[in-house]
Amino acid sequence: MKWLYRWLVRKLLRLRYVHASTLIGLPSLVSPDLVTGRDCFINVGAVIGPKVTFGDYVLLGPGVTFTGDDHVYQKVGVPITFSGRPTLRPTIIGDDVWIGAKAIVLAGVAVGSGAIIAANAVVNRDVPPCAIVGGVPARQIGWRFDSETERELHLLGLARGDFERAHSQRKETAIAF
Ligand SMILES: CC(C)(COP(=O)(O)OP(=O)(O)OC[C@H]1O[C@@H](n2cnc3c(N)ncnc32)[C@H](O)[C@@H]1OP(=O)(O)O)[C@@H](O)C(=O)NCCC(=O)NCCS
């Protein structure tokens, strides 16, 4: 019945560009223009502003925020709430990115495929593929794989869709038994 839950959530939140395999925990606030690839998981308590795109296999811990719009704050004598908003830059999350609980991703950031964002991080600049970042503001605290060769192999596998094939083979095996 997971497909029914997924379908109902897509209808409820008016999500037109979310892949049918994406699972979203409620309550979450998600902008209707969210784009996701296959097998993404958005844990409960997410707040996702506009112009955000996820690749395949993106995994969000609970309470992750994509802030969306900033406000204009440089108009002397005008309260921020009446100052308007600058043009919103897109936020792009690659394939197989894991974002830890309560992390905050600011608008305009690009997170490379295979990267990990630690719990409670505030991400205000781009994250390289397969990097692990954490802290406020987020800084690189490690690599997901030790060697460059492993990182390249992993990214190549993602780009070629190897994981997708392995997944469907597993399903076929399950049916065969
Ligand atoms: C990012 C994470 C996976 C790193 O785990 P790890 O590879 O085992 O890393 P370590 O615990 O060895 O820590 C490596 C360094 O990063 C630092 N670090 C780890 N988590 C951090 C965090 N959330 N914020 C800031 N720094 C962090 C550690 O202090 C350590 O620094 P040091 O080398 O100066 O001592 C893990 O810390 C994390 O945040 N996981 C997310 C958990 C979560 O949200 N789960 C929800 C379920 S989806």
Question: Residue 1's pLDDT is what?
Answer: 80
Task: Catalogue the active-site residues.
Answer: 71
Q: Which atom of ligand 1 is closest in space to residue 135's alpha carbon?
A: 25
41 sits in which H/E element: strand 41-42
Question: Residue 2's pLDDT is what?
Answer: 87
Look up residue 40 and give its two tokens.
Answer: 């993404």
Q: What single string gives the DSSP state of each residue in 63-132?
A: T-EE---------TTS-GGGS--PPPPPEEE-SS-EE-TT-EE-TT-EE-TT-EE-TT-EE-S-B-TTEE
Contact 131, 157 (CB under 8 A): no
Triad 47, 52, 57: Cα angle to 5°: 90
pLDDT in tens, the chain (177 residues): 889 999 999 999 999 999 999 999 999 999 999 999 999 999 999 999 999 999 999 999 999 999 988 999 999 999 999 999 999 999 999 999 999 999 999 999 999 999 999 999 999 999 999 999 999 999 999 999 999 999 999 999 999 988 776 676 655 443 332
Triad 105, 107, 109: Cα angle to 5°: 70
Query: Distance between CA atoms of 173 and 162, rounded to whole angstroms?
Result: 16
Lookup result for tokens 């719990």: 119
Contact 96, 109 (CB under 8 A): no
- Ligand 1, pocket residues at CB < 6 Å: 61, 100-101, 116, 118-121, 132, 134-135, 141-142
Cα 54 to ligand 1 centroid, rounded to whole Å: 22
Query: Distance between CA atoms of 38 and 132, rounded to whole angstroms?
Result: 22
Cα 101 to ligand 1 centroid, rounded to whole Å: 11
Q: How many Å separate Cα 78 from the centre of its chain?
A: 34
Cα 121 to ligand 1 centroid, rounded to whole Å: 10
